[in-house]
Amino acid sequence: MSLFASSPSNSKFTIFSPPQNPNSSKFYFTIPFKISHETISHPSLACSHESSSSSPPLLQEKPQNSATESEMEEKDKLAEEIMITKKSLEELLVVRRPVMEFSEEDDETEPDGDGGSTNEKKQLDSSSMIDAELSKLAKKMPIFEPERMDSKSEDKPLMVNLDLALYKAKILTRNYRYEEAEIILQKCMYYWPEDGRPYVALGKTLSKQSKMNEARAVYEKGCQATQGENPYIWQCWAVLENKLGNIRRARELFDAATVADKRHIAAWHGWAVLELKQGHVKKARNLLGKGLKHCGGNEYIYQTLALLEVKAKRYEQARYLFRQATKCNPKSCASWLAWAQLEAQKENTQAARRLFEKAVQASPKNRFAWHVWGVFEANLGNVDLGKKLLKIGQAVNPRDPVLLQSLALLEYKYSTANVARVLFRRASELDPRHQPVWIAWGWMEWKEGNLATARELYQKALSIDSTSESAARCLQVRKITFRWLLSFLF
C-alpha cells in the first residue's frame, strides 16, 4: 500500500524509490488505464535513477548508436511494471455488496481482503438467524394470523361453504323447519363471526317464531362481533324494535345504521316509514331526501314520496314520481303496483290494467300483484277473471295463505260455503299463525249461523295476537256473538 502513497504537495508518485542524490536524473511518464468501464485519470508516476559509485544505476543511459535497443528494453520493462501495477490496483478497487446490518466492531475497523468477506458472511448469517427467530415468534402469536384467533386456519371451512349454508337455511325456513335452520346458522356464526349475514338470517328466523328476546340478543351479538360496522344488523334490529313498539329505541338503531353506512338505503327508507306512521310527515320527507342525496335514485324512495303526494291529492306529482321509480328499476313490481292502485282509485280502468300487467311481468311470482289485480277485477264484476288471476297467483305461490283466503271469500260470495271451507282449511294448514285466515273463516261461519264454530275460530285468532287491529275487530264480533247467544238461550 505504501508503494502508491503520494504526498499532498506532489500529485505524482514514483515506482522506484530514488536515493537522496541531487545529481540524479529522473524519467517522468504517465500511465493511463481503465477500471470498471470508467476512465480514471491517475497521477503521473515518476521513475528516478541515480548514478552512484557504490551501486550501478538501474537504468543506464547508453550511447547514440545503441539508443534503439535501450529504448526497447525500457519499454518492455515499463510494460511489465504497468501490468503488475494494474493487477494490484484491480485487486484493491473491488466493489463490495453493502451489508444490511453492522456490528459495532465492524463500524470501528474496516476489513480488507479475505477478512471482509468472512465478516460479511457472519453478518448475513446473524441476520438470517434473527429473521428465523422472528418468524417462529410470529407463528406462535395468533395476532399475526387473524384466522387463528378463533380456530385453526386448516379447520376453518372455505367461504363458499358459508353461501351454501345460508341458502340451505333459507330453504329450511321457507319450509318452516326452523330448528334445523337455527343449527346451521349457529355453525355459520361460529366459523365466520365477522360476517353479518348469519346474524341477520337467524334474527329473522327467530322473529318469525315470535322469539323476540332471542332475536334481539342475536342482533346485539352481531353488532359486537362486527364492531358496529354492519348496517344490515342495525337496520334489522331497528325493524324488530319498531314491531315491538319501542319507537325511541328504533330511531336510535336506524341512526346507528346510517352512521355505519350512509349509503344504506334501507335504513333511510325504514326510518322514514317509521316517522310516517308516527305522523311526522316533514321529518319523513327530510329522511327520504337524505336517502336520495347519499344513495342516488332509488325506486323505494321515489315510491314512498309518490304515495305521500297521493295522500296530499297531488296526483300529477305522484305520477311523475312513480315514473321516476320505474325508470330507476323497470323490474320494480312494487312501483308498478302502487301506480296501478292510484289509477284504479281514479277509475282509470285501462291504465290500471296496463300497469297491473307491467307489475306481473316485472315479477311473475309476486303474490301481491296477482292478489290486488284479482280483487280489482272481481270488484269490477269480472268474477271469473278475478278467480282466474287468484288461481294463477296461488299456482306460482303454493305456500301463500292470503291468495287462498281471498279465493275462499269469492267462492263464498259467488258460489257455496262448502268450497270456501275447503279453501279456508287449506290456508290455515299452510300457515297456522296467519291471523286473517281464522278471522275470515270465523266471519263466514258466523254469517252461516254456526256460532259455536265461529267462536272457536275467533278464539284461535286471538291466541295468535290480541293487540292487532284485526284482533280488536275479532273481539268485537265475538262479544256480539256471545250477546246474541245469550239472548237466544234466555
What is the C-alpha to C-alpha distance for residues 258 and 275, in angstroms, rounded to an integer? 15
Q: What is the pLDDT along the chain (490 residues), one digit of tens a residue?
A: 443 444 444 444 444 444 444 444 444 444 444 444 444 444 443 334 443 444 444 444 444 444 566 777 777 777 787 777 766 655 544 444 444 444 443 444 444 444 445 555 555 566 677 777 666 655 555 444 444 444 444 467 888 899 999 999 999 999 999 999 999 999 999 999 999 999 999 999 999 999 999 999 999 999 999 999 999 999 999 999 999 999 999 999 999 999 999 999 999 999 999 999 999 999 999 999 999 999 888 889 999 999 999 999 999 999 999 999 999 999 999 999 999 999 999 999 999 999 999 999 999 999 999 999 999 999 999 999 999 999 999 999 999 999 999 999 999 999 889 999 999 999 999 989 888 899 999 999 988 989 889 889 988 888 887 777 666 666 666 555 555 444 444 4
Q: What pLDDT shows up at residue 71?
A: 72
Rg of the chain's alpha carbons, rounded to an integer? 48
Residue 421 corresponds to which cell in the numbers above?
271451507
pLDDT score, position 150: 46
Torsion of CA 128, 130, 135, 137, to 10 degrees: 160
CB 415 within 8 A of CB 423: no
CB atoms within 10 A of CB 363: 17
Beta partners for residue 39, in sequence order: 34
What domains are there in the chain, each with its CATH number?
Answer: 2-51+73-92 (no CATH), 297-363 (1.25.40.10)
The three-state DSSP-derived secondary structure of the chain is CHHHCCCCCCCCEECCCCCCCCCCEEEEECCCEEECCEEECCCCEEEEECCCCCCCCCCCCCCHHHHHHHHHHHHHHHHHHHHHHHHHHHHHCCCCCCCCCCCHHHHHCCCCCHHHHHHHHHHHHHHHHHHHHHHHHHHHCHHHCHHHCCCCCCCCCCHHHHHHHHHHHHHHHHCCCHHHHHHHHHHHHHHCCCCCHHHHHHHHHHHHCCCHHHHHHHHHHHHHHCCCCCHHHHHHHHHHHHHCCCHHHHHHHHHHHHHHCCCCHHHHHHHHHHHHHCCCHHHHHHHHHHHHHHHCCCHHHHHHHHHHHHHCCCHHHHHHHHHHHHHHCCCCHHHHHHHHHHHHHCCCHHHHHHHHHHHHHHCCCCHHHHHHHHHHHHHCCCHHHHHHHHHHHHHHCCCCHHHHHHHHHHHHHHCCHHHHHHHHHHHHHHCCCCHHHHHHHHHHHHHHCCHHHHHHHHHHHHHHCCCCHHHHHHHHHHHHHHHHHHHHHC
